[in-house]
Amino acid sequence: MVRIFHFIFGRLFFRISGQHVERFLNLCAKHQMILWDLKPDGQGYSFYIRRSADKELQDLASKTNVKLQLDGQYGLPFFLREHRKRKAFFFSAGLAVLIIFVLSQFLWEITVSGSEVYSESDILKYVTANFYRPGTWKGSVDCDLLEEHLREDYDEIAWVSCSLTGTRLHVEIKETLDRKTKQNPKTPCDIVANKTGIVTALSVKSGTPLVSVGDRVKKGSTLISGLIYYYSDDFQVTETDQIKADGEITMKTEETYKETIPMEYYEKKFGKEKIRLKSIYAGPWEWKLPFGKEEGRTDVMEKRYPLKIGKSLYFPVGIYMRTYRPYHAVKKTYTDAQAKKKLSDRLQRYIKKKEEKGIRILHKEIKYKKSGESYTASGTITQEEKAGKIRSIKALTKEQEEKIAPTTAAP
């Protein structure tokens, strides 16, 4: 902090010599003048002093008849004096800082991670259509409200965390709930079933369990309640409390699987790809750049590159780049064996992804069938997986209250 003040207000570097140097230093101490980095230097001393003390220092040097030599001027005042003719530069720099500060008060980027059941574009459309668009003032962004609505409107979302950093709103989604999941609500909550199935394992960390191992539960049923009941010795409710329910629930569920491919297909053979600048955008405006028309068949991939500082300070300016991959297509037809193998490979990849997420496949019953110009794999997959999602606390029914074992009354 001291160095910052020295830079803002300026400092001077002096060398002093003569027969009365010690007397000069004593007078400086008497007048409470601060000299720093005071060091012996040949026949005298060298030191730094603040710019505002220059006149008083000269008077003391004249009184003690010592030689005072100025050997350096440092800090912002001297920098500005040296570059005083470059007014346009400093004006532009100041204007740029002001623009960056103003733009940093708004939301310019929304990102989503962790979602597999729902696409990133679906979540982005939901957020921008119902809540916040790029250009929204950051002070009006309520992350808790957005989290609550996402959990309520998307059944497969078990946990969601929204964070506003810099000018970016990031939505992190998790589609299964377990003990390792950080409970993000700031208010008490229940854990409810996000699927229909049979409970195979239940471990409660906090809250009141409303189901047992072996129970069949429907989607939306409360598994662990955030309500805590305290009973007296005669089993009368004396007090209730609300907490954040937490625990790990495993359920056996059944999923309907279906995948279809056409018997006729085109095999693409790609040539050398080309990358071109498509357009430049600033806020809602976009300026497209002219380029020649691509001949023949071409795959086109487009990617946006926004201007940003660091990882989270985004600005409403950037470019769109397009990647062109020319190809020629050859029409082919699957045999029944080839179509079945392709569908079987897709099924294995699908199951592998589930297993990587911790889902255990118990049984699968898949049938392969040709229908017209297509080939279909369909059937059911029985699996064991983590289940549950967070929901605001709801009052228990009488049937649920009867399942709760009375506890000792609160002291």
The string of pLDDT tens digits covering residues 326-335 is 888 888 899 9
Task: For the chain, give the percent of residues with pLDDT over 90.
Answer: 28
Would you say residue 409 lies in a domain? no
Q: Is the pLDDT of residue 402 over 80?
A: no
Strands (E) in 236-358, as ranges, are 237-242, 246-262, 264-270, 274-282, 285-288, 297-309, 313-333
CA distance 206 to 191: 11
Is residue 161 domain-shared with residue 264, that is, in the same domain?
no
- Predicted confidence at residue 180, as pLDDT, reads 61
Domain that holds residue 166: 106-174
- Predicted confidence at residue 179, as pLDDT, reads 59
Predicted TM-score (pTM) of the model is 0.64
Is residue 127 domain-shared with residue 42, that is, in the same domain?
no
Is residue 352 domain-shared with residue 271, that is, in the same domain?
yes
Is residue 271 domain-shared with residue 353, that is, in the same domain?
yes
Q: Looking at 145, 174, 203, which one is the last position of a domain? A: 174
| Of the listed ranges 4-8, 74-78, 153-157, the one predicted with least confidence | 4-8
The string of pLDDT tens digits covering residues 189-207 is 889 998 899 999 998 888 8
Is residue 24 domain-shared with residue 115, that is, in the same domain?
no
Contact 274, 323 (CB under 8 A): yes
Higher-scoring residue by pLDDT: 375, 182 = 375
- Predicted confidence at residue 247, as pLDDT, reads 87
Cross-strand partners of 281: 286, 318
Mean pLDDT for all residues in the chain: 85
CA distance 287 to 11: 50
The string of pLDDT tens digits covering residues 13-41 is 888 888 888 888 888 888 888 888 888 87
Would you say residue 391 lies in a domain? no
Is residue 304 domain-shared with residue 352, that is, in the same domain?
yes
Instruction: Name the domain count of the chain.
Output: 3
- Predicted confidence at residue 410, as pLDDT, reads 43
The string of pLDDT tens digits covering residues 253-285 is 999 999 999 999 888 888 787 888 888 988 888
Rounded to a whole number of angstroms, the CA Rg of the chain reads: 36
Task: For the chain, give the percent of residues with pLDDT over 70.
Answer: 93
Q: How confident is the model at residue 2 (pLDDT cuts 50, 70, 90)?
A: low
Is residue 356 domain-shared with residue 264, that is, in the same domain?
yes
User: Which run of H or E residues covers position 368?
Assistant: strand 360-371
Q: How far is CA 287 from CA 195, 318, 395, in A?
A: 47, 11, 56
Is residue 317 domain-shared with residue 382, that is, in the same domain?
yes
Provide the token pair at 213: 């191992």
Max mean pLDDT among 47-56, 298-307, 362-371 falls in: 362-371
Q: Is the pLDDT of residue 409 over 50?
A: no
Q: What are the residue ranges of helices labelled H in 257-313?
A: none
- Predicted confidence at residue 45, as pLDDT, reads 84
